[in-house]
Amino acid sequence: MPFDLRGKVALVTGAGRGLGRAFAQFLAEAGADVVCVSRNREPLEKTVELVKPWGQRVLPLAVDVSKFEEVENMVNDAVFHFGRVDIAINNAGVIHKPHRFHELPLEEWNYLIAVDLTGVFICMQKEIEVMIKQQYGTIINIASILGLVGLDPELMPRVSYMAAKHGVIGLTRQAALEYACDHIRVNAIAPGWFGGTDLARERLAGKAPEEFQLREQKIIEFTPLRRRGNIEELKGLLLYLASDTSSFVTGQVFVADGGWTAR
């Protein structure tokens, strides 16, 4: 099987909902034991219910990835329970309401950067420490097309989110170069506009229905495939990068955006 992950241990942050929850399911389906991480334990209960039917071991952990001590404990717990961490999916992220660049409150900037960028950096540090000892590992950072391009003001951009996702791509490329000799591969997935995620709904919190409809119309118009993506459409890409099928691939950013960035 090209995407066989049997015997592997995968760690997924942001696994309490949306993309992270789906990623945990995909990895378990492919045979991996899964460490499911979320800031709050309650949403993890649903993720565990969805992962367990695949028969793999699952460890739920409540962790704030912006806190170094919690991330350190997270990785130590994973190793204590499963002996290793072969695959790390750094997916945890937050969003805040839109502001124009010059009007963004500093506290909102700091909050988002702490989770979406510093959190990825801290997770990578601790994951890499374990993978160096193993002399094996693959890290997949979840970036965004907004880590590659800007966004029309009508689509409610957030400069903090863009800065964080551009930074995640930088972390990915640098780590790939630094740790290739340790047999650690580091890549990123940059999704476009995917439906069915809680983060997508949070982006529109407090907006009038007509604003939502206008924004949705523009997103569809600007996407060559004329639709949003479905989370299942990331499954093949995730498992390709998580498995040894992609053993000669590192330092790359894989875009799944319906053609958005081809314009």
Cα separations in angstroms, 210 against 97, 196, 242: 17, 19, 40
**pLDDT beyond 80 at 204:** no
The alpha carbon of residue 173 and the mean position of all alpha carbons in its chain are separated, in whole angstroms, by 16
pLDDT in tens, 212-259: 788 899 999 999 999 999 999 999 999 999 999 999 999 999 999 999
What confidence tens digit (pLDDT) does each residue in 77-112 have?
Answer: 999 999 999 999 999 999 999 999 999 999 999 999
Give the fold, CATH level 3, of 9-249: Rossmann fold (3.40.50)
Is residue 100 within 8 Å of 115, Cβ to Cβ? Answer: no
Residue-range domain boundaries for the chain: 9-249
* pLDDT attached to residue 263: 84
Structure tokens at 233: 């459409």
184-191/253-256 β-pairing = parallel
Question: Of 111, 136, 161, 179, which is the active-site residue?
Answer: 161
C-beta separation of 139 from 120 below 8 A: no
Known catalytic residue: 161?
A: yes
What would the pLDDT profile of 252-262 be if each residue is shown by its tens digit?
A: 999 999 999 99
**Residue 205, pLDDT score:** 53
- For 123-144, write each residue's pLDDT tens digit: 999 999 999 999 999 999 999 9
pTM assigned to the model: 0.94
pLDDT, mean of residues 12-40: 97
Q: What are phi and psi of 196, to 5 degrees?
A: 80, 15
Backbone CA torsion sign across 25, 26, 30, 32: negative
pLDDT band at 41 (very low <50, low <70, confident <90, very high): very high
